[in-house]
Every structure is written in structure tokens, then in C-alpha cells.
Amino acid sequence: MTKRLVIIVWALLISSVFSFEAERRVTPDIGSLGDEIFYEINLSYTDSESLLNIPAATDFLPFELKDSKIKKHKEGDVWIVSLQYILTLFSIEDSVIPTQSLRFNSNNRFYTTELKPFVITLKSLLKTDEEGKYKIESVSKPYVLNIYWKGYLKPVLLLLFLGVLIFFGIWYYLKQKQVKETEDFVPKETRTPLQISLDSFAGLNASMVQDDTSLKLFYLMVTEITKHYLGAVYDKHVPEMTTTEALRFMRSQLGEAFEKKLNAILGQSDLVKFARFQPRNDVNIEVLEKAINFVKAVDEKIVVEISEEPKAPEEVSQ
């Protein structure tokens, strides 16, 4: 579907452009005053266009137009037209063919283009055996390419613009629909931070400690669950804090007693993770119980603080 739309829009754009090429030249390149020179305008344009008029005789002053002829043939869907003019040159000064006009019809719309002045100059060869001979040169740009936008370009561009808007509208709708379906598919968390941490602790067991790797993993999980609980109830950056930063933060929030409780958990974990300390299995069980009791104590402290907050005057009066 998208490929077909692109092809249609491209075809409309191509059909909305009218262009033609014109090439001009003068032959021969050596001659004498009074000799004939041949001025040619070679045109090419598509089959959907037609040439309505060619330069008139007056377009060649100060030259004398002696004769003219038209050669025309078709290559594929392109017309190749050669306008040939026989002129006589009488001056050794720069001679200028004035601006010339060509008129085309393209699907009943008319276009006029102008060929800028074409300068022809004669330069003496300065050779005794060729006395009176001059080199004939053209100093104007011989090649012309003109492009015209047809009348229905605006509707084509408007159609293209609307197509782009519709495409992005559909894309945005499908994108939002996908996001919503993803959000609906993922169940929303309904547990409290305390319930989440207790459920996570329930998945740990001292019996999982079998070697150094599992021992470090055990203490890492205890540390992370504890920090994530504090991050959920106090500051989301707690899980990123070092042990020292977390203890300082705990002291600022709930005082020295809770700082010591947290240090009993994090300090023991740091010994295992960084100092290769290997505690007994009963110590592992004790640290896990301390972590569980710690989050419960913090949660109770928060509940008490909330209940002790002063009520608004209107609530007291009720």
C-alpha cells in the first residue's frame, strides 16, 4: 500500500513539471566578412508538449537572415528539434543576437521562455596566408535548461502534505495504542513497600549459602532489599548510596538508634562482599532477621509519625 502511494505521488509530481533543453551553436569557426554562418538552436522536450512558435526574422538583427529550416525527429517520448538559420556577418565588432522567445503548449497551458542574448565575436587570425580571415566565437552560455511548474502543482503538493499528515497520524495512533496495550498488560503494583520487601526477604534462606559466590549473593540481596525499601519510603536515591551515605541519611531521618540497626545489616554485608569474611550460618540467619525487623520498625515509626501529625482546624472541630 505504501509503495503504491509513493508511486502515485511521484507520478503526479513528474507530470506537474514541464521542462525543455536548448543548445545553441555557431558554425563554421573560421570565416571572412560577408560569409555565411550557421546559427542553430537544438531543442528537446517531451511528447506531451508542443512548440508553438520559433524566433522571427527580426530576432536576428543586426545580422541578415538569408534562410531558415526546421529538422524534427522523435526519440522515444522526446522530441528533438533543430532550428537552423543562415546568417551573414558584416562587422568585426562583437555582434549580439537579441533575446529570442519560444512558446510551448503543455496540456492546454502555455509557457513562454526566453533565450538570453547570444554574443558572436570575430578575432583576426593574424596570418599572412589567411589575410582577412577571422576566428568566429560565441561567448554566451550555449546551453539552456528551463523548468516550469504546471498549474496543478499546488494541488499535488497539498495532496502530498495531507498524505504525510495522515501517515504520521496513523503511525502516532498505532504507537500510542501499542503503549496503552503494554501498560494494560503489565499489572500495576498494589503492594505497599513493606509488603514488597517482606515478600522479597521470604525468598531468601540461609540454606542457599553453599559457597563464596552464593554467600556474597545472599548478603547482596539482603542489602538491596533493605535499601530499596528505604528508597520507596524516603528517597529514591538511597539504593545508589554507599554504606556511609545510607547510614548518615538514616541518622538524619530517624536518629541514632535506627542508624545502628541499619549498620548491623550493611556493615556485616560489606565485610562479606569486600573483606571476604565468612560468617557462620547462624549469623547469616541473624542478619536476615535483623533486616526483616528493621523494615518493620521503620514502617511502624512512619505510621506513628503520620498519626501524630497535627490535624487541620476544620478536622479538629469536626
Encode pLDDT of 3-16 as tens digits: 555 555 555 444 44
For residues 78 and 22, which has the higher predicted lDDT (pLDDT)? 78
Does residue 92 fall inside a structural domain? yes
Is residue 23 located within the same domain as residue 150?
yes
Number of domains in the chain: 2
pLDDT of residue 6: 54
pLDDT of residue 128: 44
Between CA 24 and CA 98 the distance in angstroms is 13
Between CA 119 and CA 43 the distance in angstroms is 19
Position 38 pLDDT exceeds 80 = yes
Is residue 306 located within the same domain as residue 210?
yes
Where a domain ends, among 92, 126, 154? 154
Does residue 168 fall inside a structural domain? no
AA letter at 166? I
Report percent pLDDT > 90 for the chain. Answer: 2
Position 29 pLDDT exceeds 70 = yes
Least confident range of 144-148, 175-179, 302-306: 144-148
Does residue 113 fall inside a structural domain? yes
pLDDT of residue 173: 86
At 148, the pLDDT band (50, 70, 90 cuts) reads very low
Is residue 114 located within the same domain as residue 235?
no
Where a domain ends, among 126, 154, 182? 154
At 293, the pLDDT band (50, 70, 90 cuts) reads very high
Q: What is the pLDDT of residues 151-193, one digit of tens each?
A: 445 566 677 788 888 988 898 888 887 777 666 555 667 788 8
Are 13 and 149 a contacting pair, CB within 8 Å?
no
Between CA 133 and CA 47 the distance in angstroms is 43
At 143, the pLDDT band (50, 70, 90 cuts) reads very low
pLDDT of residue 150: 45
Is residue 23 located within the same domain as residue 137?
yes
Q: Where is 183: in which H helix or E strand?
A: helix 153-185
| Structural domain range at position 246 | 193-312
Work out the burial of residue 229: count CB atoms within 10 Å of its CB; fewer than 13 is exposed, 13-18 middle, 19 or more buried. buried
Position 127 pLDDT exceeds 60 = no
For residues 32 and 238, which has the higher predicted lDDT (pLDDT)? 238
Position 45 pLDDT exceeds 80 = no
Does residue 269 fall inside a structural domain? yes
Is residue 31 located within the same domain as residue 145?
yes
Is residue 32 located within the same domain as residue 146?
yes
Is residue 200 located within the same domain as residue 293?
yes
Least confident range of 25-34, 100-109, 183-192, 239-248: 183-192
The pairing of beta strand 64-75 with beta strand 49-53: unpaired
Does residue 171 fall inside a structural domain? no
Does residue 170 fall inside a structural domain? no
Range from 107-121, 156-170, 250-264 that averages highest in pLDDT: 250-264
- Global confidence as pTM: 0.41
- Which residues are registered as beta bridge partners of 17? 149
Is residue 218 located within the same domain as residue 112?
no
- CB count within 10 Å of CB 224 equals 14
Is residue 43 located within the same domain as residue 112?
yes
Is residue 146 located within the same domain as residue 221?
no
Tell me the mean pLDDT in the region 21-49: 78
Instruction: Determine the Cα angle at 186 with ends 181 and 188, to 5°.
Output: 120
Q: What is the pLDDT of residues 234-249, one digit of tens each?
A: 877 888 889 888 889 8
Between CA 137 and CA 25 the distance in angstroms is 9
Inter-axis angle of helices 256-274 and 243-254, nearest 10: 170
Is residue 143 located within the same domain as residue 214?
no
Position 206 pLDDT exceeds 70 = no
pLDDT of residue 216: 84
Share the mean pLDDT of the chain.
75
pLDDT of residue 20: 61
pLDDT of residue 253: 85
Q: Which residue has the cell 549498620?
A: 263
Tell me the mean pLDDT in the region 91-110: 76
Does residue 10 fall inside a structural domain? no
Q: What is the pLDDT of residues 48-89, one digit of tens each?
A: 778 777 777 667 766 778 888 888 888 887 888 888 888 886
Is residue 203 located within the same domain as residue 299?
yes
Does residue 177 fall inside a structural domain? no
Where a domain ends, among 89, 124, 154? 154
Given CA atoms 85, 91, 94, 95 in this order, what sign does their dihedral have?
Answer: negative
**Residue 208's closest CA among 194, 200, 218, 198?**
218
- All three cell numbers of 295: 523494615
